[in-house]
Amino acid sequence: MANKRKKVDKYSRLKPRVSPLTIAGIGVFVLIIILTIFLVTDSASTKFLKAYQSGARQNGFEISLTSDHNFEKVKFSKVEKLIENNDEIIIYFGSPQCVNCLKFVEQAQRAYDNDGQYNNDVANFINKIYYVELKQTETGFNLEGLEEFYEKYEIDGANAIPAVLAFKNGELVVQYEVVETEDNLTEENILFRSVDQFFKKTSEQFGN
């Protein structure tokens, strides 16, 4: 009986054209690119910080704001759901192009940091302020749907910014406003007192 020739799979003899070393090198290269993108991409916290620092410089001054601030930017479309899903929440409507907003943010951090002039530990009950950035238009700062939002929650001063609002169980309980004073205070101290009053009132409401 004639010997049968053993069939050889021609593909089994093919050697890989790319060596394992090359594959490993490509993997390392891709990893480096991913890490580089991660390192050079600013976090949301850093973007907020840079935007407000830049806004202040454009208006001829500097603000004291650090990367550990307690502002978290959110989309306006998410705000009502946030109010519904949180028993207690603070929302700030503003813009880095608004001078009063720049000064509010600085004084809010001053109060939040409890630098000795503030006698209540804000961090105990306010660890996050949600931030909605308003768009600058020819007539001021606004967003589509903002007027309806203000009407729904009975918010005063639809055109006034910054608008800082404290909600409890879905209802507006405190609204930030600049306090009137007969004392001979600087603008900075008036703003700080206003922020101080807002946080104190909010603390009382959230504590009930």
- Look up the domain containing 183 and give its range: 44-207
89 secondary structure, DSSP code: E
Query: Would you give the DSSP letter of residue 158?
Result: T
Residue 160 placed within a domain: yes
Average pLDDT over the chain, rounded to whole?
80
Name beta bridge partners: 163: 93
> What is the helix (H) or strand (E) element at residue 166, kind and residue range?
strand 163-168
Position 120 pLDDT exceeds 80:
no
- Is 193 a domain residue? yes
Banded pLDDT at 118 (limits 50, 70, 90): very low
| Strand 163-168 relative to strand 88-94, pairing | antiparallel
The yes-or-no verdict on residue 75 having pLDDT over 70 is: yes
Look at the pTM and tell me if it is higher than 0.85: no
Per-residue pLDDT tens over the stretch 170-188: 999 999 998 887 778 888 8
Q: Please tell me the total count of domains within the chain.
A: 1
In whole angstroms, give the CA distance from residue 145 to residue 62: 32
In a domain, 31, yes or no: no
Mean pLDDT, residues 38-57: 80
Q: Is the pLDDT of residue 131 over 60?
A: yes
The answer to whether residue 26 sits within a structural domain is: no
The enclosing H or E element of 136 equals: strand 135-137
**Is 5 within the bounds of a domain?**
no
Taking only Cα atoms into account, the Rg of the chain, rounded to an integer number of angstroms, comes to: 28
Any domain includes 184: yes
Please report, for the domain that includes residue 181, its CATH number: 3.40.30.10
What is the pLDDT at residue 4? 56
Mean pLDDT, to the nearest integer, of 62-91?
Answer: 91
Contact partners, residue 191, CB within 8 Å, separation at least 6: 103, 104, 107, 178
Is-contact 123 111, C-beta < 8 A?
A: no
